[in-house]
Structure 1
Amino acid sequence: MLRVDKKLLQQVIVSRQSDSYKGDYGRLLLIGGTYPYGGAIMMAALAAVQSGAGLVTVATNQENISALHSQLPEAMAFAVTDQDLLAEQIAKAGVILLGTGLKDNDLGTHLVELVFDRAQSHQVLILDGGAISIYTRLALPLPQAQLVFTPHQKEWEAMSGLAIGEQGEDRTQMAVGKLPEGSILVQKGPQTKIWQQGQPDYYQLTVGGPYQATGGMGDTLAGMIAGFAGQFPQVGLYERVAVATYLHSAIAEDLSKEAYIVLPTSISKEIPKWMKKWSDNLNENVENETFSW
């Protein structure tokens, strides 16, 4: 078992080069938020922007766009039914987050099939929420992309065939071994684990708790993973996903010191400060597994 420690955080979250520009920090496309789940894609977009993503574009229901822009003018947005623009944006994206707030219906099925058909090997494709449900239900062949799955326990049950009580390390490792080469699994739940196909060990979180049990927590995590996936090329995708997942719960744990429950949007607001802290190496007095200001 691996743990995200101070050394890994410092390896991933590095200071930005003075001559860099927004194009160096990821071109993200987030697809989801179909009725009645508009809030999900907004929370994912907020987390992606706050995580430092250079360019964030959201494909969602037309009626969500005004609400999104009123809260997050930094993100671009268009109607997910605009097929020409959607195809154009899929081709341009370096990271695609598919399924956050995506209803499992005809439109959702069409979107999953479209992305699976067009995704390329150089792109990171994060499958969340509705995309996982649709992929599992239809047993779709997976595309040749760098795949990240973010299922909760019931979604992983459907994906793997393992009942929740059977989702221990040995059986989960066997199920992960059946995924495409290099695929990453964020196995959400108590003591979330992060796996990579072909790797014998996995990362396990040592932070987080029941104060995170509220709607939108997974949406925010998916947005953070997307934001980190588009940056930090000095380390592998597996390490970026592990650090994003860890930071999500570490911030929540810190906020829980003064709050009974932690709202996902409250986590997003704190992300830039925590990333600044680690990139500046202002953490010499912090233990490997403990975060404190």
Structure 2
Amino acid sequence: MIELTDDILFKTITKRPAHSHKGTFGRLLIIGGNETYGGAAILAASSAVYSGAGLVSVATAPCNHAALHARLPEAMVADYGDRTQVKSLLASADVIVIGPGLGLNRGDLVELVMEEVREEQWVVADGSALTLIAQKQLALPFPHKTVLTPHEKELERLSGLKIGGQTVPKVQEFVEELGAVVVAKSSETKIFAPGQEVYGLTIGTPAQATGGMGDTLAGIIGSFLGQFTTENLQAITAATYLHSKIAKELAKTAYVVLPTHLIEELPRMMKKYEV
């Protein structure tokens, strides 16, 4: 297993070209945030914007629109119940993040993404989307352009591997069959990809154990895939490492690291590593 270090950030985070515009840094669509879990979509969108995504749109429940506009005026918003509007946003996205706060009654949206996605687009499936993929046994249209970000229980639903039995060889076997990248979240998060060595994090902290942390990670991964396209697995590993790196730094002076605090540190931390 390859232990991730700061080197992955130096390799990935590059200086922005002088001649660039917002489209240069990726068009990201986030689908999630039902009437109960609107904050999850807002956190995913915020982390995407703060980590440099050029254009971020959020398809979410109408009751979340005012909060999103107030919290994150940089993002555009749409009604996730308007199928025509969602399809239009899907067509123009470089990266689609689906699942943060989506809820289990919106399987239609997960199915819509699987129907509409094109091979040149990336899909990051998180939260409710993972459970829906497992429950409905949905096929991934382009596994090699898909990232799944399960915690241990979600990984159990997807793979059938019980918590406690999710060993590196067994998870790698599942990933080889699946064909997608899997960011297996735990106290020692590991990143699996078909035909690749496993990447591991040893810098996590229990200060991260709070609601919304996974939504924040999904937004950063989506943002990095939209910006840093030279080596996609590198972008995924760098995003995952950066998430824990910031948390570790904040935990030096904070008992708990809130996702909102982590998000605020993203631009400053990325600046330290740009090459």
**For residues 268-283 of structure 1, what are the structure 2 equivalents within 5 Å?**
268-280=263-275
Residue 10 of structure 2: aligned partner: 10
After TM superposition, the structure 1 = structure 2 runs for residues 60-209 of structure 1, keeping only pairs within 5 Å, are 60-105=60-105, 108-144=106-142, 146-180=145-179, 183-199=180-196, 201-209=197-205
Give the letter aligned to residue 23 of structure 2. Answer: G
Secondary structure in 2 matching 1:178: helix
Residues 35, 63 of structure 2: 8 Å contact kept: no
Q: 1:252 aligns with which of 241, 247, 256?
A: 247
Aligned mates of 2:4, 2:15 — CA distance in 1: 19
Could you list the per-position Cα deviations for residues 228-284 of structure 1 after superposition, in whole angstroms to 9, with x for gaps in the alignment? 1101123x111101010001011001000111100011000000001101005xxxx
Partner of 1:221: 217
Q: 1:8: how far off? A: 2.5
Listed one character per residue, the Cα deviations across residues 70-125 of structure 1 (whole Å, up to 9, x for unaligned) are 010000001111111111110110000011111101xx111011110001110000
Equivalents in 2 of 1:6, 1:209: separation in Å?
16
Q: 1:6 Cα deviation (Å)? A: 3.5
Deviation, 1:7, is 3.1
For the residue of structure 1 that corresponds to 2:124, the secondary structure is: strand
The aligned counterpart of 2:25 is 25
TM-score of the superposed pair, with normalisation by structure 2: 0.98
Identity of matched residues, %: 46
Q: In 1, Cα distance between the equivalents of 2:167 and 2:208? A: 22
Q: How far apart, CA to CA, are the structure 1 residues paired with 2:16 and 2:181? A: 26
Q: CA deviation at 1:64?
A: 0.2
**CA–CA distance in structure 1, aligned partners of residues 185 and 107 of structure 2:** 24
The CA distance in 2 between the partners of 1:208 and 1:255, in whole Å, is: 11
Normalised TM-score (structure 1)? 0.92
Q: Distance in 1 between matches of 2:48 and 2:194?
A: 25
What residue number does 1:59 align with? 59
After TM superposition, where is structure 1 displaced by more than 4 Å over at least 4 residues in a row?
Answer: none
SS at match of 1:170: helix
Equivalent residue letter for 2:245: A
Q: Distance in 1 between matches of 2:27 and 2:161?
A: 35
Cα deviations by residue, 1:137-178 (Å, 9 ceiling, x for unpaired): 011121126100000100000101000110111111111111
**Pair 1:46-2:41 in alignment:** no
User: Which blocks of at least 5 consecutive residues in structure 1 are unaligned?
Assistant: 281-293
Q: How much has 1:2 moved relative to structure 2?
A: 1.1
The alignment covers a number of residue pairs equal to 274
Letter in 1 for 2:120: H
| Preserved contact between residue 26 and residue 226 of structure 2 (Cα < 8 Å) | yes
Preserved contact between residue 8 and residue 237 of structure 2 (Cα < 8 Å):
no
